[in-house]
Structure 1
Amino acid sequence: MAASRITACRAIDRLCLRQAIRPPAASSTAFRISSPSSAIKVCRSVQLRHQSTAKDSNNGLKKSNLPPPPPPPPTIRQILRALSLRTLLTSLTPSGMKKMFKDSPEEFVLAMVILAGLAGVSIYIIKLYFDYFQARQFTKYPPPIAKSLRRALYYTNISPDANLARKYYKQALEQCNELQMDPFSDDVLGIRIQTAAWLEKIGNYQGAITVLDSVMKDCIRWVEWFEKSVADGTVDKSGKPPAVEVLSQDQRPTVVDEEETIPENLWRKRTRLLAKAVGTSTKLGALYSDEHVLEPENAQARLTWAVETALSESRRRHKEGVKKDEGPWMSPEEIGGAMESLAQHYESKSQFHLAVPLYFQALRLCANPCHRVTIMNNLAVAFAQHPIQPSLEVIPNAPSTSNVLVNPEMPTDRAGFLDAAKNWARNAYSHSRDVKGDERTEECDEACAVALTNMGDIAALLGKKEDARRRFQQAIEMSKRIGFGPGVAQAEAGLQKL
Structure 2
Amino acid sequence: MLSRRFKILTRPFPLPIKAHYTETLRFPKCALPTLSRPSSQHKYNSRSSKWPGRNAWESFKILFKSSPILMPTALILMVISSGILLWSNKYYSDYIIGAFVKFPEPVAKQLRKALYYTNIELTPSLAIKYYKEALRLAEEHGLDRFSDETIGIKVQIALLFEKCQKYHKAIEVLEAIRNDNLKWLDVVGFKEGWLGKRNKVLQKTVQISVKLGDLYGNQFVLEPELAEERVTWAVEQTLNEQERRERAGIVEDEGPWFDEEQIGAQFETLAHMHEEKNRHYLSAPLFLQALNLSPPKSCHTVILMNNLSTSLAQQLPPSNFPEGPTTREALISNAIAWAEKAVSLANKIQPPERNEECDTGCAVATHNMGEFSEMRGDYKGAENHYKQAAYLAKKIGFKEGLKNSEMALKRIKAIGTT
Q: TM-score, normalised by structure 1?
A: 0.67
- For the 8 Å contact 2:367–2:389, the answer to whether it is kept is yes
- Superposed displacement of residue 388, structure 1: 4.6
- For the 8 Å contact 2:124–2:160, the answer to whether it is kept is no
Q: In structure 2, do the counterparts of structure 1 residues 377 and 149 end up closer, same or farther at CA, with 3 Å as the change threshold?
A: same
Q: How many angstroms apart in 2 are the aligned matches of 1:278 and 1:291?
A: 23
Tell me the residue number matched to 1:197.
159
Tell me the residue number matched to 1:267.
195
- Indicate which of 113, 119, 139 corresponds to 2:101: 139
Tell me the residue number matched to 2:343.
429
Deviations 1:330-362 (A, max 9, x none): 222222221111111000111111111111211
SS in 2 for 1:294: coil
Q: Which amino acid aligns with 1:382?
A: S
The number of equivalent residue pairs is 363
Tell me the residue number matched to 2:227.
299
Q: How many angstroms apart in 1 are the aligned matches of 2:71 and 2:115?
A: 41
- For the 8 Å contact 1:238–1:324, the answer to whether it is kept is no
Tell me the residue number matched to 2:64.
101
Deviations 1:137-170 (A, max 9, x none): 2222111222222222222222222222222222
Tell me the residue number matched to 2:279.
351
Tell me the residue number matched to 2:391.
477
Tell me the residue number matched to 2:38.
none
Tell me the residue number matched to 2:75.
112
SS in 2 for 1:364: helix
SS in 2 for 1:412: coil
Larger C-alpha radius of gyration, 1 or 2? 1
Q: In structure 2, do the counterparts of structure 1 residues 158 and 467 end up closer, same or farther at CA, with 3 Å as the change threshold?
A: same
- Superposed displacement of residue 109, structure 1: 3.9
Tell me the residue number matched to 2:356.
442
- Indicate which of 198, 212, 232 corresponds to 2:174: 212
Tell me the residue number matched to 2:316.
387
Deviations 1:53-99 (A, max 9, x none): xxxxxxxxxxxxxxxxxxxxxxx969xxxxxxxxxxx9x95444333
Tell me the residue number matched to 2:6.
none
Q: How many angstroms apart in 1 are the aligned matches of 2:163 and 2:238?
A: 28
SS in 1 for 2:278: coil
- Indicate which of 136, 152, 172 corresponds to 1:174: 136
Q: How many angstroms apart in 2 are the aligned matches of 1:128 and 1:332?
A: 32
- For the 8 Å contact 1:388–1:413, the answer to whether it is kept is no
SS in 2 for 1:328: coil
Q: In structure 2, do the counterparts of structure 1 residues 331 and 116 end up closer, same or farther at CA, with 3 Å as the change threshold?
A: closer
Matched residues, percent identical?
A: 40
Q: How does 1:225-264 map to 2 (within 5 A)?
A: 225-227=187-189, 237-239=191-193
Q: Which amino acid aligns with 2:328?
A: R
- Indicate which of 304, 308, 317 corresponds to 2:245: 317
Unpaired runs of 5+ residues, structure 1, are 1-75, 79-89, 231-236, 240-265, 395-405
Q: Which amino acid aligns with 1:238?
A: E
Tell me the residue number matched to 1:375.
304
- For the 8 Å contact 1:132–1:150, the answer to whether it is kept is no
Tell me the residue number matched to 1:52.
none
- Superposed displacement of residue 183, structure 1: 1.4
Q: How does 1:59-98 map to 2 (within 5 A)?
A: 94-98=57-61
Deviations 1:357-402 (A, max 9, x none): 1112111122252222111111111111100545x833xxxxxxxx
Q: How many angstroms apart in 1 are the aligned matches of 2:73 and 2:256?
A: 59
Unpaired runs of 5+ residues, structure 2, are 1-25, 29-50, 413-418
* Alignment partner of 1:159 is 2:116: no
Q: Which amino acid aligns with 1:373?
A: V
Task: From the two aligned structures, give the one with the greater helix fraction.
Answer: 1
Q: How many angstroms apart in 1 are the aligned matches of 2:67 and 2:349?
A: 55
Deviations 1:271-309 (A, max 9, x none): 111111111111111111122221101011101111111
Q: How many angstroms apart in 2 are the aligned matches of 1:94 and 1:156?
A: 50
